[in-house]
Amino acid sequence: MKEISLQVNGKQYSIQLEDTSTPLLYILRNQLQLNSPKYGCGLEQCGSCMVLVDGEAMPSCRMPVSAFADRKVITLEGLLQEDGTLHPVQQAFVDEQAAQCGYCLNGMVITAVALLENNQSPDDTDIREGMERCLCRCGVQPRVMKAIRTAAQNMTP
């Protein structure tokens, strides 16, 4: 057994595991029982498994958990305020009903949060570019774009 220390959603974890090549995704979903990052392709092609790593949106399905030691990992669960209030991006997705099946929603919200961190008033081209790595099969991308515009407005001080 090896031990890896991991910081997820502000909490410090010491993970015991046999195989340190295990991708972060499986640790988050199985050991830490977090539902939000989803298995989609295991190939970093679809964005379902996105997490924030030191503020940057990154896929978690391939990179071994050991690569994330001592970095700050945030998932959808960690975007909530302590009283359970949604992050403005999460709230915008609810307000705009920006989902059908919602399986891609994790990657959409995480990527949008990172996008708005770097660009507080993105235009449509910026949004498309920023969201390019996230796939949606139901075809809700127009609603996702709307949700991001709404979130940007609501986050402007």
Partner 1 sequence: MKTSTSQSRRDFIKSAGCLTLTFPLWTSCELAAGENAVPDSSLPRSLSRHPYISAWLQILEDGSIRVYTGKIELGQGIRTAIGQVAAEELYTHPDRITVHLVETGVTPDEGYTAGSGSIINSAMSVRYAAAAARARLLTMAAEKLKVKADALTLEDGNIQQDGQPVMSFAELLEGKQLEDKVDTPPELKPKSDYQWVGTAFPRQGIEKMVRGKEVYVQDLRFPGMVHARVLRPPAYQSKLESYDQVALEQRVHGLLKVVTDGSFLGVITEDEYQAEKAQQVLKNTSRWTRPPALPADQPLHEYLKTLPARKESVENKGNFTDGGKKIQASYFKPYIMHASIGPSCAVALYDQQTLHVWSHTQGAYPLRGALKEVVGLPEEKVHIIGVSGSGCYGHNGANDAATDAALMAMAYPGRHVRVQWSREDEHGWEPYGTAMIVEAEATLTAQGTIDQWKCELWSDSHSTRPSGDPGNLMTAHYLADPHPRTSYGYSGGGYRNADPYYKIPNLKIDAHFFEGPLRVSSLRSLGAYTNIFAIESFMDELAEKAGQDPLAFRLLHSEDKRAIAVMRKLEEMIKNQPVLQDEGVGLAFSRYKNSASYCAVAARVRVEKNTGHVQVQRMWAVIDAGEVINLDGLINQTEGGMVQSASWALKEEVRFDEQHVSSLHWATYPIFRFSDVPEVEVAVIDRPDQPPLGAGEAAQAPATAAIANAVYRACGKRIRHLPISPEKIKG
Which residues form the interface with partner 1 (CB under 8 A)? 17-19, 21-23, 26, 29-30, 33-36, 38-43, 45-46, 48, 75-77, 80, 86, 90, 93-94, 97-106, 109, 127-129, 131-143, 145
Report the alpha-carbon distance of residue 92 to residue 96 in Å, rounded.
6
Nearer to partner 1, 84 or 157 (CB): 84
Tokens of 32: 């830490």
CB of 111 to partner 1, least distance (A): 10
What backbone torsions phi and psi does residue 26 show, to the nearest 5 degrees? -70, -30
| Residue 15 CA: distances (Å) to CA of 3, 23, 49, 65, 67 | 5, 13, 20, 10, 13
Nearer to partner 1, 46 or 58 (CB): 46
Which candidate, 108, 140, 109, 133, places its Cα nearest to that of 44? 133
Nearer to partner 1, 23 or 68 (CB): 23
CB of 54 to partner 1, least distance (A): 20
Nearer to partner 1, 38 or 52 (CB): 38
